Amino acid sequence: MTLQARIEELFEIPAQELHYVRDIMTVLSEFTLALNSGSIRAAEPGSDGQWRVNLWVKHGILVLFRHGRLEDMSVNSVFSFFDKDTLPTKPLTIENNVRIVPGGSAIRSGAYVGHGVICMPPMYINIGAYVDEGTMIDSHALVGTCAQIGRKVHISAAAQIGGVLEPIGARPVIVEDDVMIGGNCGVYEGVLIRKRAVLGSGVILNASTPIFDIVNNTIIRSSAEKPLEVPENAVVVAGARSIDTPFAREHGLSVSTPIIVKYRDDKTDARTALEQGLR
């Protein structure tokens, strides 16, 4: 029986009965090892550029939570923490070539972290996340459950990449290669950020956020069939739009709105593109 089939079988068993399954820890250990190595992932790109969510991987992570029991995982009397015994921190050695700067960062086991990733303190990468080679996770940044981060991405200080485990069918946040995410950004609810896009500081994106593209005079929205998608090379900044009601007009109210102000070309790096877009 395949690992996927065994996970799906375990997922159907009530939580209170999982402890009676004889080989459950063997299956869950194999599953966690596969997540850590990146051989399985919560979502993956197809040859057509479209992303496919692997629901069975989410099922396996939920089984880990259901089967786990609270355990004292304290390092000493000063650094104490308590979590499910099935969810320890990620085992890393110098051979993994992941730079973790001292200062309170943590990576949960079941997250893939590629060679050359830099983790600045304090930051956190949760289970099911996939962080590809050469990416930088800056201070106070979060990579949530099952989030998919590409190569050479810069996630700046205090940026939040939201996680999703339930509802099962929900897409994780996906950030493709060479993306720059500015400080204090928030990306949630299955938003897809295509290659080489730039988010300026403070941009907030979720499934209900419209993006105003002033280059092409269009409004980008999500739908039941398609997530909110930031186009390839788009440079997005935090803007505002007025609210058109009598009360709002009387008080000069507006709401924050992400705006695409330009598109990068091969001659501009992320920072240059952002600076030019803000002039």
**Residue 229 maps to which CATH number?**
2.160.10.10
Where does residue 66 rank: exposed (0-12), middle (13-18), buried (19+ CB within 10 A)?
A: middle
Look at residue 26 in the predicted model and tell me its pLDDT.
97
What pTM value is reported for the model?
0.94
169 within some domain: no
7 within some domain: no
Q: Average pLDDT in the 220-245 region?
A: 96
If one counts the domains in the chain, the total is: 1
Which residues lie closer than 8 Å to 155 by C-beta, 6 or more apart? 135, 136, 137, 138, 141, 143, 149, 161, 175, 181
42 within some domain: no
> In the predicted model, what is the mean pLDDT of the chain?
94
pLDDT of 275 strictly over 80:
no
Tell me the C-alpha to C-alpha distance, in Å, between residue 39 and each of 31, 59, 204.
10, 16, 31
264 within some domain: yes
Per-residue model confidence as pLDDT tens digits over 29-64: 999 999 999 999 999 999 898 999 999 999 999 999
21 within some domain: no
47 within some domain: no
Tell me the C-alpha to C-alpha distance, in Å, between residue 125 and each of 139, 186, 228, 269.
12, 15, 23, 27
Per-residue model confidence as pLDDT tens digits over 81-102: 899 999 999 999 999 999 999 9
pLDDT of 67 strictly over 90:
yes
85 within some domain: no
| Domain encompassing residue 207 | 185-279
Look at residue 265 in the predicted model and tell me its pLDDT.
87
Q: Average pLDDT in the 13-28 region?
A: 95
122 within some domain: no
